[in-house]
Amino acid sequence: MIKFSARNRERCAPVPRCAAARGEGAYHLTTSWLWLWLALGFVDSSLLAQEVQYNRDVRPILSDKCFACHGPDVATREADLRLDERASATEERGGYRVVSPGQVTASVLLERVTAADVSERMPPEGAFAAALTPEEVQTLRQWIAEGAEYQSHWSFSAPNRPPLPTVQNPRWAVNAIDRFVLAKLEPAGLQPAEAADGASLLRRVSLDLTGLPPTLAEIEDFEQACGQDPEAAYSAVVERLLHSPRHGEKMALHWLDAARYADTNGYFTDNERTMWPWRDWVIQAFNDNMPFDRFTIEQLAGDLLPQPTVAQRLATGFNRNHMLNNETGIIEEEFRVEYVADRVDTTSTVWMGLTVGCARCHDHKFDPISQRDYYRLFAFFNHVPESGLAGSAGNASPTMDVPAVALRQQLEQVRAALAEAQDTYAAGEAELEAAQSNWELTARDAAPSPPSDGLRLHCPLEDPSAKDPAAEEPAAEDPAAESPTSDDSTPESLTSESLTSESLESAGSVAGLAAPPAMTSGMVDFAAGMLGHGARFAGDGCLTLDPPFSPSAETPFTVGVWIQASGAGCVLSQMDDVHEMRGWDLTLRKGKAVF
């Protein structure tokens, strides 16, 4: 487990053994890797305490040799026996117990693992695991004799500080870690190595904290400072190294490996992708001594925090470090599921020290993770709007913009100015729309008649039944006759209901259509326009006509409309239903008409 608190920084750099203080000519330093190894308690039980511990000594044996048939997986469990649970292992079974706490000879477990008869011995001959070694049998025997105490899975238990071991030469130990070193050495009949000289000491601590050796000048300065005050000199070096940007890079290296960081997608083409901003976030987190709880939350769910910052959203790149496939022909859903499974496996391994991948297909055979548990965890990571097929280059969506730190303040200023300009534009647009409407009312009477030369089709939106039929001869030849000079002969506005009834039939006959206009899905509103009435479309409705002509690709023709558009979409089109998209259309794209 990686810690970020100031307290742990102090523990990572214990006060060195000073040669001058002990009449020696060198210094002593235990490397940080050995400190971590011992501080976490990964030492032989006989050196720390005589009592056997279940998680440290017994569980590995049972997990390796017994749990496949007598563990969590109900599908493969034999004899209804679970050796991973104390209740099942110690229960009365018709005159015997598999594990009888405190009674070695009464425990059938030891009888079966040491049976001379191959047919009675466990694990069975030819099984997945070999027979127990004499050392493993002795561990089980001692564990049962001491009461066969079980412990919850170590991954689900809070770490506890182990007691300091008893050593024969406590005066040699300057700090607690030294006692663990001695506890390892003394039973083996070994003495501590000679204390290191100043240059070696500086080299070791520099490599441990930054991954880089010291310069010649740094060695000279350190040796000179040690001549005056060794402890102060060493403490100053440690502080300098901890505040070096290289410290974050060195520490982040191990985290990046655990988080499966890569600058390429892997699989078929192994295209490049941009993940280095997340890498830099990890480095900065170490350099900032970020608390471990924040380090965890921001990487797993930084985007779900209230008003998350760019850095907090960027931290969730931890969840997107998996491989990405862009090979043609793959089943997209198959690989999308693989990406989710990768997040589940990585998260459980990195943060819980527990591999749950086995439970993807069945209950875990060694750890207390059921298949149901796996997919309940799977559900947390199954909400990314992504595809299993990555793009041909770069990052797969969803992505985010990560501006450089130097540009973020400038970007915020630009965004604020843009928001102000948009508000001003919106206010002006409303005024312009009102002015446009007023102008249209006054300009309507002076509007010229549409051109009549070569006119084949004119579709007015007035109700022809309200006009003199004699004046309507015919629309295709005299379109000016259908263009009123005032609204006296037409209703104030036509509703969709009036247009779809008799007025539509009349309009069809006046326009010379084979069939009257028909309204499809959606509503179309009608109001006074520049020349007669106009139609207002909301985006989900249209008018369908059956025109009396169908121009070919070589036929020259002209269409004219008077529109006021606020978005994009199709204005007019004539398409062949049989041969899809064969025909012509007039559309609006980015405020421009496209034919």
pLDDT tens, position by position, 415-437? 999 999 999 999 898 888 888 87
Higher per-residue pLDDT: 449 or 272 = 272
Higher per-residue pLDDT: 135 or 482 = 135
- Identify whether 23 is part of a domain: no
- Identify whether 174 is part of a domain: no
pLDDT band at residue 581 under the 50/70/90 scheme: low
Q: Which domain holds residue 481?
A: 464-594
The whole-number pLDDT of residue 236 equals 96
Span 62-105, pLDDT tens digits: 999 999 899 988 888 999 999 999 999 999 999 999 999 999 99
Q: How many CB atoms lie under 10 A from the CB of residue 53?
A: 17
Q: Mean per-residue pLDDT for 540-564?
A: 73
- Identify whether 296 is part of a domain: yes
Same domain, 287 and 364: yes
Q: What are phi and psi of 586, to 5 degrees?
A: -115, 115
Higher per-residue pLDDT: 430 or 562 = 430
Q: Which of 67-71, 192-196, 589-593 is least confident? A: 589-593
Stated pTM of the model:
0.60
User: Scanning the structure block, which residue is given the tokens 């810690």?
Assistant: 3
Q: Which of 279-293, 398-412, 428-442, 526-540 is least confident? A: 526-540
The whole-number pLDDT of residue 462 equals 61
Same domain, 367 and 411: no
Task: Reply yes or no on whether the pLDDT at 203 is more than 50.
Answer: yes
CA dist 230 and 241 (Å) reads 17
Q: How many CB atoms lie under 10 A from the CB of residue 322?
A: 18
Higher per-residue pLDDT: 207 or 406 = 207
Which among 36, 64, 215, 197 has a CA at the least distance from the CA of 127?
64
Q: If you compute the radius of gyration of the chain from its CA atoms, what whole number of angstroms results?
A: 41
Span 116-134, pLDDT tens digits: 998 899 999 877 788 999 9
- Identify whether 219 is part of a domain: no
Residues 6+ apart with CB under 8 A from 556: none
Question: Structurally, how many domains does the chain consist of?
Answer: 4
Task: Reply yes or no on whether the pLDDT at 470 is more than 70.
Answer: no
Q: Mean per-residue pLDDT for 504-525?
A: 51
Can you read off the two tokens belonging to residue 455?
A: 């006119």
Same domain, 590 and 485: yes
Q: What are phi and psi of 297, to 5 degrees?
A: -60, -45
- Identify whether 20 is part of a domain: no
Residues 6+ apart with CB under 8 A from 77: 69, 70, 71
Q: How many CB atoms lie under 10 A from the CB of residue 468?
A: 9
Q: Mean per-residue pLDDT for 485-493?
A: 38
Consecutive H or E run containing 423: helix 405-443
CA dist 484 and 400 (Å) reads 56
Same domain, 376 and 411: no
The dihedral over CA atoms of 437, 441, 442, 445, expressed in degrees to the nearest 10, equals 140
Same domain, 372 and 410: no
The whole-number pLDDT of residue 244 equals 96
- The answer to whether the CB of 92 falls within 8 A of the CB of 36 is no
Same domain, 332 and 418: no
- Identify whether 161 is part of a domain: no
- Identify whether 22 is part of a domain: no
| C-alpha distances out from residue 585 to 147, 392, 548, 582, Å | 87, 33, 17, 10
Q: What are phi and psi of 330, to 5 degrees?
A: -75, 160
Can you read off the two tokens belonging to residue 514?
A: 């084979």
Same domain, 412 and 364: no
- Identify whether 431 is part of a domain: yes
DSSP 155: G
Q: Which of 88-92, 275-279, 412-416 is least confident? A: 412-416
Same domain, 556 and 484: yes
